[in-house]
Amino acid sequence: MRIAVTGATGFVGGAVCRAAAAAGWEVTAFGRRATADPGHIGGARYRSWDIGGKLDDPPGVDAVVHCAASATDTGVAREVWRTNLLGTHHVVASFPGCRVVHVSSGSVYDPYRPTVRAKEHEAPVRRYLNVYAAAKAAAEQLVLAVGRDPVVLRPHAVYGAGDTTLLPRLLENLRGTRLLVPGTGTPLVSMTNVDSLARACLLAAAVAAPGQRVFNIADSAPVTIDWALRGLLASAGVRARPVYLPAWLLSPFARVFPHGRLNRYVISQFARERTLDITAAIDRLGYEPGPTVFRGGCAD
């Protein structure tokens, strides 16, 4: 199997490269950096490409796994759209003859109500709380409309060794030994181990699943937000505990300061249930999820 991976110097893209290389696949890795650590990309051939334009000389591959994205929820709107939508267009246009596996996000589900074991048909929705979710939803529709044999994966709260997004963003709200979090900590959340997501990407690249193009990807069972936060902090060696702030108290401030650390999007993610139904991925792709694990601890 020959695949191309975009965003290879990033957290998810690197995991996909390593998993594919370990499976004996031929991998061409693409990233915006001039060079890449060979260990991070599993020794794959590396080429610099920031997906800001169409690739002139794409390699011959069977599938492209598109991981490159701007993952910020407070970034400049123009740049987020440019990377997440226009960049996706450039990827699809550069590889017109092969399957496109688009790594999307669970953020495309309705942020205004709880996400309870959401099925794939429940997204996209008409309105979002930030440009990141809106751009990811638009990119999904682009891939499904113009991609050849497209597959869209929707992971949620991706974690694991080398995390450059979830944990660092959480730690921005650290105040001494207190981690400030909206809500109560009791809602359930679907987490996604990065290695499980990488395996799902390989399955999506290789497995034919007629009639199903979009798949939720997550660990085997949801956990409470409090359990997840304590596990993430412990795994990083951070001596801190979550301190919960009522969502109703934070919401007025979030409207006044839409780009603050505890913005409306963050409140919506922590104060309500965010769980995904992964039945389709298990039944149609052969996805085998594991439990949520943080360095020696796992969900019951």
Residue with tokens 């597959």: 151
Checking if the pLDDT of 296 tops 50, the result is no
SS3 state at 89: helix
- CA dist 34 and 42 (Å) reads 17
Residues belonging to the chain: 300
E-strand stretches of 170-237: 174-175, 178-182, 188-189, 192-193, 214-217, 223-224
Neighbours of 282 (CB within 10 A): 14
Checking if the pLDDT of 73 tops 80, the result is no
Query: What single-letter DSSP state applies at residue 211?
Result: T
Which tens digits make up the pLDDT trace of 4-21? 999 999 999 999 999 999
- CA dist 31 and 55 (Å) reads 12
- CA dist 268 and 107 (Å) reads 10
- CA dist 182 and 263 (Å) reads 10
Which tens digits make up the pLDDT trace of 186-227? 999 999 999 999 999 999 999 988 889 999 999 999 999 999
Q: What are phi and psi of 177, to 5 degrees?
A: -105, 15
Helix or strand (DSSP H, E) at 195:
helix 194-206
Listed residue (292, 199, 286) closest to 12, CA to CA: 199
**Residue 35 burial class via C-beta count within 10 angstroms: exposed 0-12, middle 13-18, buried 19 and up:** exposed
Checking if the pLDDT of 97 tops 80, the result is yes
Which tens digits make up the pLDDT trace of 16-67? 999 999 999 999 999 999 999 999 999 999 999 999 999 999 999 999 999 9
- CA dist 64 and 201 (Å) reads 10
Q: Which domains are delineated in the chain?
A: 2-160+192-219+274-292 (3.40.50.720)
Residue 148 is predicted with a pLDDT of 85
